[in-house]
Structure 1
Amino acid sequence: MSTDGDAAPPICEHRLSPQAIAYKARRKPSVPIRMPDLTDHAAVANWRAATNAMWGEDDNPAEPHRREVIGGIPCLAAGPSPGTDPPIAVYAHGGGYVLGSAAVAMPITARLAASGLRVVSVDYRQPPEFPFPAALDDVLSVYLALAAGDSPVALAGDSSGGALALSAAVIAAAEGVPPAAVALLSPLLDHVSVPGNRLADDEGRRLIDSYTGNANPADPRLSPLRAALGGLPPVLVQAATDEPLAAQAREFRRRAGAAGVAVTLDLWEGMWHTWQYHALPEADEALAEAAGFLAAAFSPADSR
């Protein structure tokens, strides 16, 4: 795929598998349980637990994940054990910051780990109890602790976790410890909006605002699309052509390409936001692409 920042973003057309067609026909709303008052911490905790349990329907319990504490932050790790010096991908789960968990992200992290990566999924602190910058601080803490070792480290994330992963990458690069690569799945990249594109529906906006708190949504640590992007390593962005955040993915490719960053933008026809979570051939293909992208960045020829 072209990575020229001035070229039109490439669109990969994928004929939907019978499994994906059947799944789309029976899809439920992303959050089928009514959202509570986000200032009621007890109600949010119950809502999060119930929603996360429903989102876990595609988890594969046969895939081993280990509980680890890294940089003082609880994580779920999959793939080779520490001490074997495999390349590492630090993963930030999605869920609008308020929902989701490292356990919910197992369908993604298990398949990435199957490629030989050690995937460390961060159980970052979540709003409303812990607004910005708690989640970003936790992802950064895990990344910096691992980057201090001997293995190369990449950053990855989906949806709101994509914002965390990219923000962490921008900050780490500015501090002289850039990741080997960044992989973003249906990422949220701007908390304000991209011109001509509504950021999210009302419920999505409420979730994002719960994390933003009193901060300026244009703060580049919240909206990495607005950050100084020069100095980033190669970045892969996957998004569905019809999802609202696809406009942000296109704009990121334009801005990052203009800053000299090698960006691969893979837009999928017919899919939906974060389809990579589901037990579908399209998810397997997308995650194989992401794993291959990261593996290429870790190869000796591309070592940093």
Structure 2
Amino acid sequence: MSSNRDAAPFLRRHRLSPEASAYKARRKPSVPIQMPDLTDHAAVERWRAETNALWGDDDDPAVPHGREVIGGIACRVAGPPTGAPILVYAHGGGYVLGSAAVAIPITARLAATGLRVVSVDYRQPPEHPFPAALDDVLAVYLALATGDTPVALAGDSSGGALALGAAVTATGQDLRPSAIALFSPLLDHVSVPGNPLADDEGRRLIDCYAGDVDPADPRLSPLRADLSGLPPVLVHAGADEPLAAQAREFQRKAAAAGVDVTLDLWEHMWHTWHYHDLPEADQALAEAAAFLAAQLTPAEM
């Protein structure tokens, strides 16, 4: 992995695996069902359920996820029992879609490495716009961070904004997480350079969550927050995905603020490839787990 000393990303050059090449050849739209009127709450609820089911929301029998309420928020929990280092995870999906169950392909692989992964089923718009999702992730983190077990934060896509936003708030409250891992994160709602979804759907989802809030609000766009004091951060992004520009800017700003930040840009990979059954996803998540474990495990152990 790269160092933040010169604030330069590490471009991971590699040949696509046969599995990844086959996936790209048959790749379907990110949102497989036509988006409804986002002001129609009942229609959105049906759309979310149908889309999540198509994406896949089954448990992993090898790494089962139990249901727990933590800090008053519903979560899916996997990995070793209490006492293991904890990772609070925020799923992606443009805030409106996705769930802790949909994120199981990521959380199961992280939990299999020895982390206790707490995946937050945060409230979602349009019923619950900003700051409901952020408040829920923060509530789960704060409920766990008051104990003796080290806790890290992670998230993908829009969940990256939630994880980083929660980390910034917690750090300001002297409850800094041990580490942060962000996968293809959305970090700035002011300027989204393209979007990972098709036909401007990403912008509509983001606006549904933000509502009338100023997109420059640092709680909504943590790239614009004071990043000083944050723990070590690992960021993964596809080298050519639209949000790679935000990942680069985050590395620059975080390094300037004195944060130990590593940005790995993966050649040929797409937005949140971590979800898929691919060697590249296995490798990325294994490296992320190793990064997190190094920060979560006391040096004397």
Match of 2:68 in 1: 68
Match of 1:33 in 2: 33
What secondary structure is seen at the aligned counterpart in 2 of 1:137? helix
Match of 1:10 in 2: 10
Match of 1:160 in 2: 158
1:259 matches 2:250: no
Look up the equivalent residue of 1:157 and give its one-letter code: G
Match of 2:286 in 1: 288
Match of 2:204 in 1: 206
RMSD: 1.6
Q: Is the 8 A contact 2:91 2:155 kept in 1?
A: yes
Normalised to the residue count of structure 1, the TM-score between the two structures is 0.95
C-alpha distance in 2, partners of 1:9/1:299?
Answer: 26
C-alpha distance in 2, partners of 1:182/1:302?
Answer: 21
Query: CA offsets per residue over residues 20-79 of structure 1, 9 Å max, x none?
Result: 101111111000100000000000000000000011178634430000000000000000
Gaps (5+ residues) in structure 1? none
Of the three residues 237, 258, 275, the one matched with 1:239 is: 237
C-alpha distance in 2, partners of 1:63/1:32?
Answer: 27
Match of 1:53 in 2: 53
C-alpha distance in 1, partners of 2:191/2:5?
Answer: 21
What secondary structure is seen at the aligned counterpart in 2 of 1:300? coil
What secondary structure is seen at the aligned counterpart in 2 of 1:297? helix
Look up the equivalent residue of 2:12 and give its one-letter code: C
Match of 1:125 in 2: 123
What is the CA-CA distance between 1:99 and the residue it aligns to? 0.1
Number of aligned pairs? 299
What secondary structure is seen at the aligned counterpart in 2 of 1:301? coil
What is the CA-CA distance between 1:302 and the residue it aligns to? 8.9
Query: CA offsets per residue over residues 255-285 of structure 1, 9 Å max, x none?
Result: 0000000111010011110000000100000
Look up the equivalent residue of 1:219 and give its one-letter code: D
Runs of at least 4 residues of structure 1 off by over 4 A?
none
What secondary structure is seen at the aligned counterpart in 2 of 1:204? helix
C-alpha distance in 2, partners of 1:249/1:4?
Answer: 13
What is the CA-CA distance between 1:109 and the residue it aligns to? 0.3
Gaps (5+ residues) in structure 2? none
C-alpha distance in 1, partners of 2:211/2:202?
Answer: 14
Classify 1:13/1:198 alpha carbon distance in 2 versus 1 (closer, same or farther; 3 Å). same
Query: CA offsets per residue over residues 189-209 of structure 1, 9 Å max, x none?
Result: 000116xx3456511000000
Q: Is the 8 A contact 1:187 1:249 kept in 2?
A: yes
Counterparts of 1:96-245 in structure 2, within 5 Å, are 96-193=94-191, 197-198=193-194, 202-245=200-243
| Higher mean C-alpha deviation, range 33-42 or range 57-66 | 57-66
| Higher mean C-alpha deviation, range 277-286 or range 58-67 | 58-67
What secondary structure is seen at the aligned counterpart in 1 of 2:68? strand
Look up the equivalent residue of 1:67 and give its one-letter code: R
What secondary structure is seen at the aligned counterpart in 2 of 1:264? strand
Match of 1:78 in 2: 78
Look up the equivalent residue of 1:96 and give its one-letter code: G
Match of 1:24 in 2: 24
What is the CA-CA distance between 1:2 and the residue it aligns to? 3.3
Normalised to the residue count of structure 2, the TM-score between the two structures is 0.96
C-alpha distance in 1, partners of 2:118/2:160?
Answer: 15
Look up the equivalent residue of 1:65 and give its one-letter code: H
